[in-house]
Chains A and B, each alone.
Chain A
Amino acid sequence: MENTTALINEQITKDLLPQKFGKRGMIWTGALIVIALIGAFAYYRQLRYGLVVTSMRDYVSWGIYISNFVFFVAISLVGSLITAVFRLANVHWSTPLTRIAEIIAVSAIVFASLIIIVDMGRPERFVNLFMYGRIQSPIVWDVIVISTYFVISLLLLYLPLLPDLKILIARESKDAKGLQKMYRFLGSFWKGLAIQEKINNKAVTILCITIIPVAFCIHTVTSWLFATTYRPGWDSTNFGAYFISGAFLVGAGGVVVAMYVFRKVYKLEKYINEMHFDKMGKIVVMLALLYLYFNVNEYLVPAFKMKKPEEAHLTQLFAGEFAPLFWFAICVGMLIPIAILLFKKGRKPVPMFVAGIMIVIGAWFKRYLIVTPTLLHPFLPMYNVPESYHHYFPSWEEWAIAIGSLAGALLVITFFARIFPIIPIHETIIEQHETAE
């Protein structure tokens, strides 16, 4: 009996340990690095010539940088959902997904901060936020709350990693020296003692309780960057809830995509199985319906009243210049995934993967539609400005930086999976035993 247990443990460990990049991994990583470098070059141009290299002008003064920022903040919320909510609700099937969710959260929040610096006209004055910060400004709230969320997310990534670090350190010989040094630095003190386990479990539980309100804060505050203004389309009391529901949806969609990819690449079919997809599918469909509900709220109510400033904005979205993109985002981001995932057959890995991709893409464009069309409908007419101020289509530099930041986030996730086990080994072993008993 003991023999078999040891054997099973050995097998799990072997399956889940981080693996070296294969050929495909090399190509993937290389491609991401190239895309990120192009983004870095575009940013160099922006630093040199100013924000004039973007297509943003006085009316559309926030463009895809900001919508991309909102997207990153949104997707980072998933860490709290998968890890914290499920853990507190005593849901065990989600164990293999927790680390995927957490690393998505951490890398997204890092790139959210970076992209907001990219958007600044004077990035070198970032320090002014700390020297002269005004607590009255929602931007300062955002800075505080994002840095707090970043620290909490890192802790939530780190604490459950400790037992796995012990396993990694134990396999000394097989890794490069640098990696071993890092593992030792991070976790050499973890001995798996009962007292350590006890403190750790308690700490993680406290973390899970703390991260939920903080996660709500980051996205609510981010929505307030818009909702605290008078602009049509932003002037809404519903915005916080609307943003959070959308964030949970895109985050869950992101996890679905990631779990499909990791399962495929690392051959984890045994650990991430159809049950996981089915359950995630049910959650995604619930979140999509919730987000749809908030969308109806957000558009139907002002459309019913058709106040003059809202009118131009809404007609542009429903039937004007932005209509194709708007209906694309609604269909691809919500309706079609709901249609797929409502059926059991739709909750198989491949359709789930497709639905996940759709949700993420739809969500990205949805953020764009929240930011830009509003700015093109100011209260006073756009006049006495150059022709180009009346439109907005991102310049190549903006695309390069936005896509580069997405590539950068994926790169962080990729390297993390190369260095650390993407599925918690220790917890999987424990679960295995619990189910066996």
Chain B
Amino acid sequence: MKLQNNYKLFFILITAFYCNSIWAEEPKPKLLVDVGYHLDNNTFPFVSIFTKSKIEKKFIAVPNISVKVYLGQEADANLLGTVITNKYGKGMISFPVSVNTLWDTLSQFKLIATSVAGKKYESVSNEVSLTKAKIYIDTLWADGVRSIAVTIKIKSGNEWKPVKDVETKIVIKRSVGNLSIGDKETYTTDSTGKATAEFTKVGMPGDAGGNIIIVGKTEDNELYGNISLERKVKWGTPLVNVNTFDQRTLFATRDKAPLWLLFLAGFIFITVWAVIIYLFLQIIKIRKAGMENWPDIA
């Protein structure tokens, strides 16, 4: 029985070893480049780059990669710039003035990201084709119910036209993870380009003035990228931040010890040490008495 077990162990070890060597021979991971188009508050657009590679079924960020970003086609005139990704594999670039005329004429556009070949990775390219879009927010009030209407418009020739069937998110901005203002996660625009969400999150804490920030956005949309717009509304409850940090408690820092403890401990300490000091004085007294009588021996 024991022998058999040993065999099993041996077999497992061999298998493990073999698997290991297979892993080792695997070709080096391929670099992947994500391109994203962003437009916040309908101001200036920018392009985000994320360089990563897939290792053991997981995406791992690859830092320090130079990525050239082009508008329309891979030509020097169309270069937006070169991005070097940071330690999280991320980088971003906005549209420089040099592409002014080109950008102005386009309603549909293509973004091309090409990584510069390096020691570890070969050059890879990725592109997205998008339509220029803008987003609008309206606050609605009907029958005591508050709603938010988000409108998406795309550029068509020289005009901005509403567009239907766009999935939008209408959320309350929070520090991590935004909370939908209504009961649904997403809202789709109708033929007038409008998506309406009822505000059901009554009583959400806002800032000290009760303001909350509503964000309407498209997220990773295949046609329009990431466009978002914020609107501050006074729909929340004023935040009352109860900060007990400076209170004197048993779990506060040393400079914030409870007063009763300080007095109690101090009283005991001072009393006992006063007695001890008194006793030392007595020893000095005994010493003195001895010295005075026979100063010669001392």
Q: How far is the CB of B288 from chain A (nearest CB, A)?
A: 8
* A155 CA / B273 CA spacing, docked (Å): 13
The answer to whether A193 and B293 have CB atoms under 8 Å apart is yes
Q: How far is the CB of A333 from chain B (nearest CB, A)?
A: 32
Of the A-B pairs whose beta carbons lie under 8 Å apart in the complex, a sample of 18, sorted by A's number, is: A132-B254, A134-B257, A135-B262, A136-B251, A144-B265, A148-B272, A151-B276, A189-B286, A189-B287, A191-B293, A193-B289, A195-B289, A196-B286, A200-B282, A200-B286, A202-B282, A203-B283, A210-B272
* A300 CA / B263 CA spacing, docked (Å): 37
The answer to whether A206 and B279 have CB atoms under 8 Å apart is yes
Asked if B208 is at the interface of the complex by the 8 Å CB criterion, the answer is no
* A203 CA / B289 CA spacing, docked (Å): 15
Interface-centre pick from B258, B282, B291 (highest chain A CB count, 10 A): B282
* Residues in A neighbouring B253, C-beta threshold 8 A: 134
Interface-centre pick from A136, A199, A202, A210 (highest chain B CB count, 10 A): A136
Q: Report which of B262, B278, B294, B297 forms a contact with A206, defined as CB distance below 8 A.
A: B278
The answer to whether B282 and A188 have CB atoms under 8 Å apart is no
Binding site for A on B (CB under 8 A): 250-254, 257-258, 261-262, 265, 268-269, 272-273, 275-276, 278-279, 282-283, 285-287, 289-291, 293-294, 297-298
- Could you tell me how many residues of chain A have their Cβ less than 8 Å away from some Cβ of chain B? 30
* A214 CA / B276 CA spacing, docked (Å): 12
* Residues in B neighbouring A199, C-beta threshold 8 A: 282, 285-286, 289
* Residues in B neighbouring A195, C-beta threshold 8 A: 289
The answer to whether B294 and A191 have CB atoms under 8 Å apart is yes
The majority secondary structure among interface residues of chain B is: helix
User: Given A136-B261, A199-B282, do A206 and B289 touch, yes or no (CB 8 Å)?
Assistant: no
The answer to whether B276 and A152 have CB atoms under 8 Å apart is yes
The answer to whether A189 and B282 have CB atoms under 8 Å apart is no
Q: Would you list the 7 A-B pairs with minimal beta carbon distance, nearest first?
A: A189-B290, A134-B254, A189-B287, A203-B282, A191-B290, A135-B257, A136-B250
Asked if A133 is at the interface of the complex by the 8 Å CB criterion, the answer is yes
Q: Report which of A132, A148, A189 forms a contact with B273, defined as CB distance below 8 A.
A: A148
* A152 CA / B289 CA spacing, docked (Å): 23
* A135 CA / B261 CA spacing, docked (Å): 8
* Residues in B neighbouring A188, C-beta threshold 8 A: 290, 297-298
Binding site for B on A (CB under 8 A): 132-136, 141, 144, 148, 151-152, 155, 159, 162, 188-191, 193, 195-196, 199-200, 202-203, 206-207, 210, 213-214, 217
* Residues in A neighbouring B257, C-beta threshold 8 A: 134-136
Q: How far is the CB of B261 from chain A (nearest CB, A)?
A: 6
Chain B's closest residue to A209 (CB) is B275
The answer to whether A155 and B250 have CB atoms under 8 Å apart is no
Q: How far is the CB of A201 from chain B (nearest CB, A)?
A: 10
Interface-centre pick from A135, A188, A193 (highest chain B CB count, 10 A): A135
* A160 CA / B276 CA spacing, docked (Å): 16
* Residues in B neighbouring A213, C-beta threshold 8 A: 272
* Residues in A neighbouring B275, C-beta threshold 8 A: 206, 210
* Residues in A neighbouring B289, C-beta threshold 8 A: 189, 191, 193, 195-196, 199
The answer to whether B298 and A189 have CB atoms under 8 Å apart is yes
* Residues in B neighbouring A152, C-beta threshold 8 A: 276
* A162 CA / B289 CA spacing, docked (Å): 14
* Residues in A neighbouring B298, C-beta threshold 8 A: 188-189
Q: How far is the CB of A197 from chain B (nearest CB, A)?
A: 9
* Residues in B neighbouring A135, C-beta threshold 8 A: 254, 257, 261-262, 265
Chain B's closest residue to A195 (CB) is B289
* A132 CA / B257 CA spacing, docked (Å): 13
The answer to whether A196 and B290 have CB atoms under 8 Å apart is yes
* A268 CA / B247 CA spacing, docked (Å): 62
* Residues in A neighbouring B268, C-beta threshold 8 A: 217
* Residues in B neighbouring A159, C-beta threshold 8 A: 283
The answer to whether A136 and B286 have CB atoms under 8 Å apart is no
Chain B's closest residue to A207 (CB) is B279
Q: Report which of A136, A144, A151, A191 forms a contact with B252, defined as CB distance below 8 A.
A: A136
The answer to whether A214 and B272 have CB atoms under 8 Å apart is yes
Interface-centre pick from B252, B273, B283 (highest chain A CB count, 10 A): B283
* A200 CA / B284 CA spacing, docked (Å): 11
* Residues in A neighbouring B297, C-beta threshold 8 A: 188
* A202 CA / B285 CA spacing, docked (Å): 12
Q: How far is the CB of A234 from chain B (nearest CB, A)?
A: 18
The answer to whether B261 and A190 have CB atoms under 8 Å apart is no
Chain A's closest residue to B288 (CB) is A189
User: Given A189-B298, A195-B289, do A133 and B254 touch, yes or no (CB 8 Å)?
Assistant: yes
* Residues in A neighbouring B272, C-beta threshold 8 A: 148, 210, 213-214
* A133 CA / B294 CA spacing, docked (Å): 47
* A408 CA / B152 CA spacing, docked (Å): 84
Q: How far is the CB of B49 from chain A (nearest CB, A)?
A: 39
* Residues in A neighbouring B279, C-beta threshold 8 A: 155, 203, 206-207
* A191 CA / B287 CA spacing, docked (Å): 9
Chain A's closest residue to B273 (CB) is A148
User: Given A132-B254, A135-B257, A188-B297, do A155 and B290 touch, yes or no (CB 8 Å)?
Assistant: no
Chain A's closest residue to B253 (CB) is A134
* A200 CA / B282 CA spacing, docked (Å): 8
